[in-house]
Every structure is written in structure tokens, then in C-alpha cells.
Structure 1
Amino acid sequence: MSGHLLMGALLTGILAGYGIAIPVGAVGAYLVGLAARERFAVAASAAFGVAVVDGAYALLAVLGGAGLAEPLRPIAVPLGYLSAGALVLLAGLTLLRAVRRYRGPLTVSASSPVRAFLGLLALTAINPATLVYFLALILGRGAEGGGALFVLGALLASASWQLLLVCGGGLLGRALTGARGRLVIAIVSAVLMLVLAVAALTGGSPVG
């Protein structure tokens, strides 16, 4: 395979990764809020959890092609309800932790990098729209090869964008260093997640 085709596959993967990652939905809002109140290692681990799912769905799309589209249709609605429920739970936990920290003394982070990674990985994984998105791209590209580089490009793009959100959240957290400022960030993040959960129940995409 020529170098031009390989480079084209990599660039297509990068563009695809940014295309699915940049629209800020519940995951983006949660990452910003998480980075504002937690240490960098926790928020970065959560960001990598999102990127791993984007890369895995890109890989499934490359390997499965059109054969994956039909089996997804019957479970799309149940997954939407599951995703909405997860968002409501996540919003509630965010508010609960924020209120506890506001009322009590500042403590060491209650979250761990592993827990943050697994939590965001699970939340992103239950969004079937991500897989459908990559399937559509693969079917549009045709079988031109370079699948591994396409997946790598999607993974790198998603990871870089999620980390950018984390850095932005970290800067926001340093700007609002007081307990009240962090509480406001958590409340805004949780309310946005609840709004997106309602959107998921009415036909919108819950995460992104």
C-alpha cells in the first residue's frame, strides 16, 4: 500500500476522532467539572477512558463494516434509556460530592484514576451513536485499507481533545479556588448532564 493511502487513512481517522469528540455533550461537561475539582491524574484517566472507547468503536467499525449496523438497531432505544439513567446517577453523585465538600473541610480526592477511567469508559461505551458514526464513515470510505492507521488517528484525536477539556477544567478550577466556586462548577455540570439525559429520553444523543 502506498504512503499516500496510509497517510490518508491516518488523517481520515484523526478527522473522524475530532468529529465525534468535539461536540461537547455530557461527557465533555463532566470532564471539565471533574478537572476543576480533582487532581490532574484523575481527570486525565477519565479522558483516556473516553478515548479508548472511541478507538475501540473505530476498530469495530473497521472490522465489522456493514454487518454491525443491523444488530444495533433493536438495542438502540434500550441503550438510550440506560445512558440517560447513567447520566442522572452521575449528576446526582456529582452534586452530592460537591455539597459534602462545600460543607466539610477540604479533603484528598475521593476518586481514583482507575475508578475515573472505568466510569467514563462505561458511560461512553453505552452510547450506540458513536459506533454508528464510525460505521457510516467506514462505509463511505469503502474498503481502501489503512484500517489500523484510521483507528490510531481516531484514538489520538479523541485523546487530545479530551485532555484539552481536562486542561481547560483545571484552569477553571484554579481560577475559582474557593469552595463556593467549585460548588457552582459542580452544579452547572450536573444540571447540564440532567438536561442531556432528558434529551436522550426524547430522542437526542446522551453523550459525546
Structure 2
Amino acid sequence: MPHRLADADNPPMTSAFLSGLLAGYGIALPVGAVAVHLVALTARTSWLVGVSAALGVATVDGLYALLAVLGGNAIAGPIRAASGVLPVIAGLVLIGLAARTVRTAITQHRKQIETGDERTGPLRAYATLVGLTALNPATIVYFAALVAGGPRTGTGAEQAVFVVAATAASASWQLLVATGGSVLGRVLTGARGRLWTAVVSGAVIFALGVDLLVR
């Protein structure tokens, strides 16, 4: 596991920091439904909304990292059990999100609203991405693996450094993704461009949701 990548030449705190970075980027870098939604949401709304959503993702990743260092084998079983039913729940949530995304975009387009999804503010975006990330099967499985064999033997300070580094790594990548969505939003300044951004992202999220259900 990431914590075991350290060797004798690295001080314990440095090892914990590097392990945390590896764990954070390891879960953040793969592109899935969460990243697709984050890009499209930021493109349709604003950079501030995107940043709030990105921090929602990082919050959950940080909490799962905390569980990985504190939970131990006591929670490994329940997490593995939850990972079996979560794909169904997550698939249904993604399909619902895709439908809402497309419906909202079409409604706004008909009303000639060119300022994005005005009902999606920073707080709502944060809460939505917290929920999506918490239900993301890939996130659950990844951190279940950390719980089963991850960094639980270090001191309290080392564990804290691991969690902070993992959260920071996730946040830095999600903020980069949100910034990319903001740039896309500036390019697609017209109502038609934002409509098609929403439709395409909705189609991708729908496909990912269906894939979770049929596995």
C-alpha cells in the first residue's frame, strides 16, 4: 500500500506526506462521472461554483483517507459489504443526475437564459459533489483497500500528515479540473454552446450510470 512505499532513507513524516500525496492523486486522477459532472457544471455556471464542487470531492476523499488511517480492520468488512450495493445506488443517482442536467439545460435554453444554471449555487454544488463522491464505487473500493492494508501503524502526527496530504492532492487536481471547466465555459459563451455541453455531459453520465447497473 502507499504507506509502504517509504524506505529507510525517508524520515517518517516525509514518508507519510508522500504516501498521502500518492493516495490522493491515485483516487483523483482517473476520469469518471464525478470529473465529467464537475467540468460540465463549471462550464455552465461559474468558477466559484466549480471550486465549491471541487472542494466537495476533496472533502469526501479526505474523510475516506481519515477512515483508512483510523478505522483498521474493524470497518474493512462493512466497507466491502457496502461496495457491493453501492454500484446500483450510484448508477440510479447518476441516471437521475443526467436527466436533471439535460432537462435543466433545455428549459434554460428555451427561456434564453445565458448565465448558466442560476439555481446551482456554491453550497448546492458542494453538497451535490459530496453525495456523488461518497457514493462513487471506485472511491469506496480504493479506500477499502487502504483500510485493509494501508497506513495505520504510524504515529498520530504521521497519520494526520497522511490525511492532510491526501486531501490536498485531491483538492489540487479537482480545482484544476474545475478551472478547465471554467475555461470551457468562457469558450462556450452562447446559450447553444452551453446547451450542448449539458447534453453531452448528461449523455456521458447516463452511460456511466447504466454501466454500473448492468455490471
- The TM-score normalised by the length of structure 1 is 0.90
Q: Note if 1:179 corresponds to 2:191.
A: yes
1:130 equivalent to 2:139? Answer yes
Give SS of 1:144's match.
coil
Give, as a single letter, the amino acid of the residue that structure 2 aligns with 1:8: S
Q: What is the rounded CA distance, in whole Å, between the counterparts of 1:34 and 1:119 in structure 2?
A: 11
Judge conservation of contact 2:36–2:205 (CA < 8 Å) in 1. Answer: yes
Paired letter, 2:145: A
Give CA deviations for 1:54-92 in whole Å, capped at 9, x if unaligned: 000000111012222212233323221111111011101
In percent, how many aligned pairs have the same letter? 48
Gaps of 5+ in 1: 204-208
Shift of the alpha carbon at 1:140? 4.6
Give unpaired runs (5+ residues) of structure 2.
1-8
Distance between the aligned counterparts of 2:84 and 2:141, measured in 1? 14
Within the candidate set 177, 180, 187, 1:168 is matched to: 180
Provide, for residues 5-52 of structure 1, a one-character-per-residue CA deviation record: whole Å limited to 9, x for no partner: 101111111111111011010000000001101022211111111100
Runs of 4+ in 1 over 4 A off after TM superposition: none
Deviates more, 1:96-105 or 1:50-59: 96-105
RMSD in angstroms over aligned alpha carbons? 1.9
Structure 1 residue 106: Cα displacement: 2.0
Q: Which residue of 1 aligns with 2:6?
A: none
| 1:128 shift after superposition | 4.6
Matches within 5 A, 1:43-192: 43-106=50-113, 109-137=118-146, 139-141=149-151, 143-145=153-155, 146-192=158-204
Deviations 1:143-169 (A, max 9, x none): 234111111011001111111111001
TM-score (norm 2): 0.87
| Alignment partners' CA distance in 2, 1:173 and 1:128 | 29
Work out whether residues 47 and 162 of structure 1, in 8 Å CA contact, stay in contact via their aligned partners in 2: yes
Contact kept in structure 2, 1:69 and 1:132, CA below 8 Å: no
Code of the residue aligned with 2:106 in structure 1: it is: V
| Count of residues in correspondence between the two structures | 202
Paired residue type of 1:125 = A
Change (3 A) 1:201 1:48: same
Counterpart for residue 4 of structure 2: none
**Cα–Cα, structure 1 residues 39 and 140, in superposed 2: closer, same or farther, change >3 Å?**
closer
Q: Which moved more, 1:76-85 or 1:187-196?
A: 76-85
CA distance, structure 1, for counterparts of residue 140 and residue 72 of structure 2 = 10
Q: Which moved more, 1:185-194 or 1:106-115?
A: 106-115
